Chains A and B, each alone.
Chain A
Amino acid sequence: MSFGQTPKGRSKQLGLGSVLIGLLLSSPTFAAPPGDLSELMAQLAEVRSVSARYTETIQVSLLEHGIESTGTIRYVAPDTLIELVDGEPPREIRIQGDRVRISEADETHEIDVGEHRAIESMVAALRSVFTGNLVELERHFHVRFERLGPGKVGDGWHLTLTPDDAEVAWLFSRIEIRGSGREIHRIEIREPNGDSRTMRFEHQEIDSPDG
């Protein structure tokens, strides 16, 4: 019985936000706007790699104002994600398969994703977004797909993921992803108590067969 996220005292934070970013970054190149969700998923499956700059804003009720951080993120199919957080010293978070490695200055920690229910569920489910596995995605989340325009290139879309599992929902009540055509604009992770974290992306470089 314990909080698994913090073995041996020192807080080891897993780059869940980065996982989301990576997964979503992998998905913004659409040859055509998706007619429906399965079409979107089919297109996501083709992405080979993505890199981008990001800005993250964290809103917490304990704080007077939001905290902002920036960095670079890179995803390589099928399952590698590297996030570099700007700072002195910079922090690197590397996720490969089920292993997570966090390096800061001279310190490195490794975590097995499978040890932590909420994280594993998120990683597994969101990985299914970029591998285009709709069946797997719907096993973990209630998925709502919404088109914000008539369906032409450049029109917006909106994906809402609601976790089915109570244990995951305790940490995240909702994940909203907004994009338009080839671009993801932002990912917003909402927590049950009203706190949230929002990530915006720019300078995306996408490698896919037709990109």
Chain B
Amino acid sequence: MTLLERPVLDHVLTLLVVIPLVGLVPLLFFMRDARAAKQVALVTTFVELVVSLVMLAQFRVGEAGFQMVDSVMWLPSLGIRYEVGVDGISVLLVVLTTLLTFISVLYSSGGAIKTRVGEFMAAFLLLEVGMVGVFVALDLFLFYVFFELMLVPMYLIIGIWGGQRRIYATLKFVLFTLLGSLLMLVAIVAVYLASGETGSRTLSFLDLIARRDRFPADFQFWVFFAFALAFAIKLPMVPFHTWLPDAHVEAPTAGSIILAGILLKAGGYGLIRFALPLFPIGAQAWLPIILLLSVVAIVYGAAVSTVQKDLKKLVAYSSVAHMGFVTLGLFVLNTQGGVGAVLQMINHGIVTGGLFLFVGIQYERTHRRQIADLGGLANQWPLFTTCFAVFVLASLGLPGLNGFVGEFLVLLGTFRYEGLPVSGLVWGPLAAVGVILAAVYLLWMFSRVMYGPVREAYRALPDLSPVEVVSAAPLVALTILLGVFPQAAIRIIEPSVERMLAFATQSALAVK
């Protein structure tokens, strides 16, 4: 059963990949006209959002397999296909992508970006192609192409419209990411060679799943390592996270929203879609280390967040902790953990997107990001305070808001974990410390920024503008909705997570 009975749109996923490219064409002609460029970008991303909602409506809930698949031979001489499709894991991520992109473009066209508007919008549309493509690609080659396609536009967004140390930050971001992804490229080629004899080789996900028994254990060990490294850098996992605070602090607001909301998710998504199901034996071998690093990320990220003086840095380090829950949930290899991890990705996208949006909004008014320089804003901006409070409370995991659900499920899954090196009864409480610390640093930050005496300089500053309200409203609504009624998302996610985890565990059990 689809979510709603709607007219069916054929090739909707291909359409989603193509729409931003089509939008780029008129944009090239309006490069020097800021107003027209904004309009073109707004229309394009809005159409993209609507089409993605149509796709969601077409999605048959409760099915585990891929839907709306488009598949044609792309490179006959190599046997590589153009193959796209969505399942319960990717469908919500695609909608999240189109929503956050629209919000970013809307917010940026409200006056946040003043120079080179045309180029900014063009970079965003190109970025959207890459992001949507990553979540719908079912061929490893295609996936890699989209994975890398996200890189150059984000490089330009941080490097051109960023803050003081933008060039250092953007080069660091690109070089870290490339280091992981190029080693993954070698691994992809190795998988391609191992997939069969000349002429029958493939990189199509479903074909590879069927043939993964051909991958010997030591082969899986190294290939999984290369994949996991690329995704761990993107995610980012401790100790590969050092590019993230720099990139976030320097990026313009819209860049931060997309970076935290979508780009990091590409790492978690790659783990559950490709690394875990394709190389179960390799995953088993690396699992203890990844569990350890996840818990370290949760505790370390939270601990470092408590001592941050800069608002953006605080949110960035809190992302490291939150993404730790994602890897923890994925690698305990049970349904609760997996569903929790995917939910956590979506919720973190919404909530952290919202947090970066509001940090950006207040920065534009006060021109301060140091927590010590702020204070008393609650009296000035009632609307701002309400929305910001929702995101802060969701981020610290208050029951009734969406952040709670994902973390709770992950912790539940973790307590049930009974594998190497030690059982979940050790990991669970450690991870729970991170939740408590999150409450500490977020509430502390909130009280210092919003309460206390009002500074004279901030008295005349206005509350949210209409554009900002429209930008924030969907995020606030989703935060509450997914907190009160998470079942809507869980029903979509669960069957597909179970399927991927079945791939990830069956073969490994056979080995034992």
- A associates with B: no
- Give me the interface of B with A, judged by CB distance under 8 Å: none
Residues of A at under 8 Å CB distance from B?
A: none
